[in-house]
Amino acid sequence: MKVVLQTTWNTTAAWRAELLRQAPDLDVRVWPEIGDPAEIEAVLCWQPPPDLFAGMRNLRLIQVLGAGVDGLLRSHPRLPPVPVARLVDPVMSQRMAEYCLYATLRFHRQFDVYERQLAQARWERHQHPDPGEVGVGVMGLGAIGSATVRLLRQLGYNVAAWARSPHPEAEVPVFVGEEGLPAFLARTRILVCLLPLTPDTASILDRRLFEQLPRGSYIVNVARGEHLVVPHLLAALETGRLEGAMLDVFAHEPLPKSSPLWRHPKVFVTPHAAGITNPRTATAVIVEQLRRLERGEPLLHLVDPARGY
């Protein structure tokens, strides 16, 4: 099978080497040196350029090299009429869940407060509630959201989820749609955003949402920077409506040095590092997908471009 590999990362060589190690029969062509585009059957891509699919009249699959497809859909509003799949790597899901657990522990155990005390050489201990008394709300119940829910439940947190559609198989209470959002927010002290970025979810973390959380709540955003309205967050932190935020994603990356988020004492910034894609583990998932394509079997983790996920 002839496939094109295109990424914006500096790991392209590692991806190609891993693909050929796990599937030596593949003909892996690195964009833009792809030869005859009519020969290409599958594209493995991340934030592809506008002309990537030109001439690929025998294309059968677009496999995104990440959990989200918003970058692809934004740059290609008219995709070729072939299946589009997102990457669901259980290892990456676990890493993301670990990040969310750390953020939850950070705020629950008040390590953010102790960090500020450290700068002042101040010795002061603080009581904290039991995990079961802490309402953690997870927005989004995809592979990463489900992994996060499982990990938080193992430590005894009072977890609930919010989703656009019912999830009868979920192990926690699930609040659904706009009508379920107020009740979900009212019971949430630590809010974790793991939503896909769509027109409906862009700017969802705004003043209106913050005002429905209990006073002194916390925000954890590991989904997309465009979910968060930064001026509204800063205002909520100043008034005490929110007590802290841990942010891994931003509308503009790298986060500009001029951003006030870097210097705010109640904001903890990480450089989009919650779940860095590992070519070794992710390639195993991708090779399985390509084998299914060859055998004519149902493909994994297909997305609906009209819904955005």
Proportion of the chain in helix, strand, coil states, percent, rounded to 5? 35, 15, 45
**272, 280, 292, 301: the active-site residue:** 272
Answer yes or no: 232 catalytic.
Answer: no
| CB neighbourhood size of 116 (10 A) | 12
| CB neighbourhood size of 14 (10 A) | 15
Q: Which amino acid is at 72?
A: L
Answer yes or no: 106 catalytic.
Answer: no
Strand partners, 247: 221, 269
DSSP character string of 263-276:
T-TTEEE--S-TT-
**224, 227, 232, 241: the active-site residue:** 224
What is the rounded CA–CA span in Å between residue 127 and residue 260? 30
The number of helix segments (H) and strand segments (E) in the chain equals 9, 12
Residues 6+ apart with CB under 8 A from 114: 126
DSSP character string of 23-72:
-TT-EEEETT--S-GGG--EEEESS--TTTTTT-TT--EEEESSS--HHH
* β pairing state of 135-139 and 190-193: parallel
What is the rounded CA–CA span in Å between residue 293 and residue 61? 8
Annotated catalytic residues are 224, 272
